[in-house]
Amino acid sequence: MEKKNFKLNAAFINRNRSYLLLVLIMICGLFAKNFYTPYNIQAVTGNGSLVIWLGLGFTIVLIAGHMDMTVMYMSTFAALLTLGLHADQKLPWLLCVIIGALMGVLNGLIMGLLVTKLKIHAFIASIGMQLVLRGVMYVYCNGKELSIGKDYTWNDMLNGKLIPFLPLSTYFIITTIFIFGVMVILRYTRLGRNIHMVGGNAETAWLAGIKSDMVVIAAFVISGLAAGLGGALNGIYSGAANVTMGEKGISPFYMAFTACVIGGTDIYGGKGSVIWTYVSLIMIAFLKALCKSTELQVLVIGAALVLCLVYETVAKYNRDKVLGRRPNLYIEYKNETGNAK
Amino acid sequence: MMKKSLAILLSGTMLLSAAFMTGCGGGSSSEAPKSSAASEASTPASSAAPEASEAGSEAPASSAAPEASEAGSAAPAGDVNVPEAAKASYEKLLAAEESLMTTDNHPMMAEGLSFDVPAVDGDAAAMEELPETDKNHWHYKEYLDWDQSADAQFPESPADGQEGKKVILIVHGAHAWTTCYTEAFKAACDAVGMTYDIYDPNWDQANQDSYVDQAINERPDAIVVIPVSADHATQQFKKITDAGIPAFCSNTTPEADAMNFIISYTGPNDWYQMRTLAAMLGESMEGKGGVAYITHNVGGSPYYARCYGPMTELAEKYPDIETLDIQSPGFEASEVKQVVADWITKFGDKLNAIVLADDSDQAIGAVEACQAAERTDIKIVAAGISKQGLELVKSGDLFGMSYQTCQGDAGLAVRTVSEWFCGIDVARVNYLSTDIATKDNASSFEPCQW
């Protein structure tokens, strides 16, 4: 078996950029005051969990070659629904969370059908569904903010530690478990491989006998489930929700998108990993904790996104330039004809 | 080569940014420039101050005196029992209270007021069953009528004075008002000897939650929060109090339940001010006509106070005045202009008055729309008090607006925190003094604070 030589080159940096950036941020944390405290680690990872759920859904759909921009509104709707059902209908938290998650599944199903059966571009369908979700939210809560009231049982549980010696909130651990579950699906199941294949080349996938429509619908459903479940849990974790969540400051949706790109998910589909996105989002969460100014957070995250996009574009251009070429043929020819230098 | 360069550039940028950021915290007290308010500190109170109170008392329903009473924390120095360890600090606080003035020549650290809370029969859920035009529907939002038996275990005051203590202020977002507030906060902190950090989440709820966690992680001596959202505030203040840090709420009122985790609220009595403004408006409309409302950001306490405060007042005192519409277009003048233009088209002569939650950009948009439609008969009132707003009042384009001293708001917060550090019992709710600005008394509020 040929032994791979380790080379610290541009390809290596690019391949592992999310991990390297996380390490970089953590090293910078050594010089920041009160950065490595259990409270800070627990708070940063907990507060960053919602974006991880959104990034997860967005990544899967992006790998499948589409774009689900409803994740932010879906998560807000799930949060409002969960809090509203518990406050008004007095339903237990678990049931409220399940209903919130199921609403996410329904949203994903509708998105999938719009994209595959009605052949509406995912971008357009997403904008339409965003408006629908926004309207539904306004009708549901009449513009008011909903909260957990005085029932702190699940709020304390999600904010608290699941494993006493580990400075991580229960909410973050649930998020991590879900992420690894989806990673297993994507990496080791037929559905996961099909999602990659459909995203890489839909025509080839169809010729290979893959039911592309079903695969795309499944990707949207997983995305909807992540947004619904993540949003429902986040509503309880943060204690309140309102319709305009995420519309001010740094939108969680844009953070999720940035993390996908920084993580290395191909914006044209076919390549990507939820683990890359996960690591990138943790990196962004710690980056936000490092820079206390919102303006700096926006600037740095935006600059990282632009640089990654430029890199991806240049790399794709270079790949396309040599696509189909066999530069070694000339060397082989020279060798065979004895003219090699 | 290109790929390699870009990869190195990416890593380098991130490294530099992160290294830069680790050295950049919030506004550090040592670096803080002296604010305009601070520079006013040495300026003696001009004759404008007494004129303001006189003019204010002439304006309809401008004085809060009948319903307001001095807060317990506002007792004169001689009457306050200050522990020996805090006496030097307290003297410094008293000196600051006397010397610091707002740019419109009002005391910056004036004592707070408390208002009587009327009794209602039922809890918050029962009150919400009432129609939105009923005052009692909003009772728990208006009066912070919380269940004191459910109060959390608050941290004990060190009773050794405020000097050398570190306070973290978490504001709600970037705005001219916020800049004015933070400058006054810095000036007041400098004057009483406290250090500070200021975090600005830029109106983002999730960001403010993160800042609350960061502030707790810094372990300051006290945290002051201007909540982005009233409902969310409960969770934020619970976290702070659970961490054993004294929590103070400033400017925007939280949900009543949040008071269980707040040592003291300081800020304007938005509801009362907007009610007095509405009473003045209703009288000028002779009890009939149609009113439309432009709200503050949905969810925050000004959203409720500045829309439902006047609406319930008009419904009670002038039942023939009709509510035509409520819209939340935000704070862009162009958006507000469009909404008001639509109202003029839709309601025609039925639209007689507009209530605005903001006297700057919202007021500019509304006035422009009325002028464009030649409907200068429409009476516009707003919550204030900004420079643009006051100019519109002077020109007669705005019928009236509430006076909310921004610098006084910051000063009252610092005063209350300081008194708590001095071991003095502070009132749980401390309101700012209140007034209404009209064309007749507008000069009393100049030069404007923001």
- Residue A172: per-residue pLDDT: 96
Query: Confidence band (pLDDT; 50, 70, 90) for B450?
Result: confident
- Residue A16: per-residue pLDDT: 82
Structural domain contains residue A164: yes
Which of the residues B16, B17, B199, B327 would you substitute to probe the A interface, choosing the one with the greatest number of A C-beta atoms within 10 Å? B17
Mean pLDDT in residue range B420-446: 90
Query: Confidence band (pLDDT; 50, 70, 90) for B51?
Result: very low
Indicate the number of domains in chain B. 2
- Residues of A in Cβ contact (< 8 Å) with B201: 249, 294
Cβ atoms of B147 and B260 within 8 Å: the answer is yes
Tokens 């989002």 correspond to A281
User: pLDDT digits over B380-404, tens only?
Assistant: 999 978 888 999 999 999 999 998 8
Structural domain contains residue B282: yes
Q: Do B13 and A34 touch (CB under 8 A)?
A: no
d(CA B357, CA B310): 11
Specify whether B72 is located in the same domain as B165. Answer: yes
Mean pLDDT in residue range B164-168: 96
- Residues of A in Cβ contact (< 8 Å) with B299: 144-145, 242, 244
Which of the residues B28, B235, B260 would you substitute to probe the A interface, choosing the one with the greatest number of A C-beta atoms within 10 Å? B235
Structural domain contains residue B46: yes
- Residues of B in Cβ contact (< 8 Å) with A14: 3, 7
Q: Do B201 and A155 touch (CB under 8 A)?
A: no
**Number of alpha carbons in the 13 Å side-chain half-sphere of residue A216:** 28
Specify whether B139 is located in the same domain as B234. Answer: yes
Structural domain contains residue B411: yes
Pairing of the two strands B113-115 and B68-70 = antiparallel
Give Cβ neighbours of residue A61 (< 8 Å, ≥ 6 apart): A67, A68, A122, A219, A220, A223
Mean pLDDT in residue range B75-97: 81
Specify whether B299 is located in the same domain as B173. Answer: no
Structural domain contains residue A313: no
Cβ atoms of A63 and A268 within 8 Å: the answer is no
Structural domain contains residue B187: yes
Mean pLDDT in residue range B269-283: 93
- Residue A28: per-residue pLDDT: 86
Tokens 């209908």 correspond to A89
Structural domain contains residue B7: no
What is the helix (H) or strand (E) element at residue B218, kind and residue range? helix B205-218
Which of the residues B15, B16, B21 would you substitute to probe the A interface, choosing the one with the greatest number of A C-beta atoms within 10 Å? B21
- Residues of A in Cβ contact (< 8 Å) with B238: 152, 239
- Residue A170: per-residue pLDDT: 95
- Residue B38: per-residue pLDDT: 36
Structural domain contains residue A233: yes
8-state DSSP, B78: G
B300 → chain A, closest CA residue: A145
What is the helix (H) or strand (E) element at residue A330, kind and residue range? helix A328-336
Its domain, for residue A267, covers 17-290
- Residue B52: per-residue pLDDT: 33
Specify whether B137 is located in the same domain as B235. Answer: yes
Specify whether B377 is located in the same domain as B260. Answer: no
Q: Do B229 and A242 touch (CB under 8 A)?
A: yes
Cβ atoms of B433 and B113 within 8 Å: the answer is yes
The two three-digit tokens of residue B114, written as one number: 């408390």
Q: Do B217 and A288 touch (CB under 8 A)?
A: no
Cβ atoms of A50 and A234 within 8 Å: the answer is yes
Structural domain contains residue A326: no
A143 → chain B, closest CA residue: B298
Distance, in angstroms, between B306 CA and closest chain A CA?
15
Specify whether B347 is located in the same domain as B312. Answer: yes
CATH code assigned at B211: 3.40.50.2300
What ipTM was estimated for this complex?
Answer: 0.79
- Residue B193: per-residue pLDDT: 95
- Residues of A in Cβ contact (< 8 Å) with B211: 292
d(CA B176, CA B87): 36
User: pLDDT digits over B232-270, tens only?
Assistant: 889 899 999 999 999 999 998 888 889 999 999 999 998
Which of A20, A28, A155 comes nearest B18 by C-beta? A28
**How many degrees, rounded to 5, is the angle at CA A146 between CA A140 and CA A147?**
150
**How many degrees, rounded to 5, is the angle at CA A224 between CA A221 and CA A230?**
135
Question: Among residues A76, A59, A77, which one has the least CA distance to residue A68?
Answer: A59
| pLDDT at position B47 over 50 | no
Distance, in angstroms, between B111 CA and closest chain A CA?
33
The two three-digit tokens of residue A236, written as one number: 């309880």
Structural domain contains residue A155: yes
Distance, in angstroms, between A196 CA and closest chain B CA?
25
Cβ atoms of B302 and B355 within 8 Å: the answer is no
| pLDDT at position B361 over 60 | yes
- Residues of B in Cβ contact (< 8 Å) with A54: none
- Residue B408: per-residue pLDDT: 94
Q: How many CB atoms lie within 10 A of CB A12?
A: 13
The two three-digit tokens of residue A309, written as one number: 């996009």
Structural domain contains residue A51: yes
A299 → chain B, closest CA residue: B17
Its domain, for residue B379, covers 271-403
- Residues of A in Cβ contact (< 8 Å) with B11: 13, 17, 20-21, 24
User: Which ranges of chain A have pLDDT less than 50?
Assistant: none
Give Cβ neighbours of residue A55 (< 8 Å, ≥ 6 apart): A255, A256, A259, A260, A274, A277, A278, A280, A281
| pLDDT at position B32 over 80 | no
Q: Do B202 and A293 touch (CB under 8 A)?
A: no
CATH code assigned at A267: 1.10.3470
Structural domain contains residue A200: yes
- B72, amino acid identity: G
- Residue A186: per-residue pLDDT: 93
Mean pLDDT in residue range B203-220: 90
Structural domain contains residue A10: no
Distance, in angstroms, between A336 CA and closest chain B CA?
31
Indicate the number of domains in chain A. 1
d(CA A148, CA A275): 32
| pLDDT at position B65 over 50 | no
Q: Round the average pLDDT of chain B to a whole number and report it.
A: 83
Mean pLDDT in residue range B84-111: 92
- B262, amino acid identity: I
Q: Show the beta-strand stretches assigned E in B51-162.
A: 68-70, 113-115
Specify whether B61 is located in the same domain as B202. Answer: yes
- Residue A113: per-residue pLDDT: 96
Q: Do B24 and A307 touch (CB under 8 A)?
A: no
Would you list the DSSP string of B52-66? HHHHHHHSTT---TT
- Interface A:B, Cβ pairs < 8 A: 182
8-state DSSP, A2: P
Q: Do A242 and B205 touch (CB under 8 A)?
A: yes
Specify whether B317 is located in the same domain as B411. Answer: no
- Residue A179: per-residue pLDDT: 95
Cβ atoms of A311 and A93 within 8 Å: the answer is no
Query: Confidence band (pLDDT; 50, 70, 90) for B179?
Result: very high
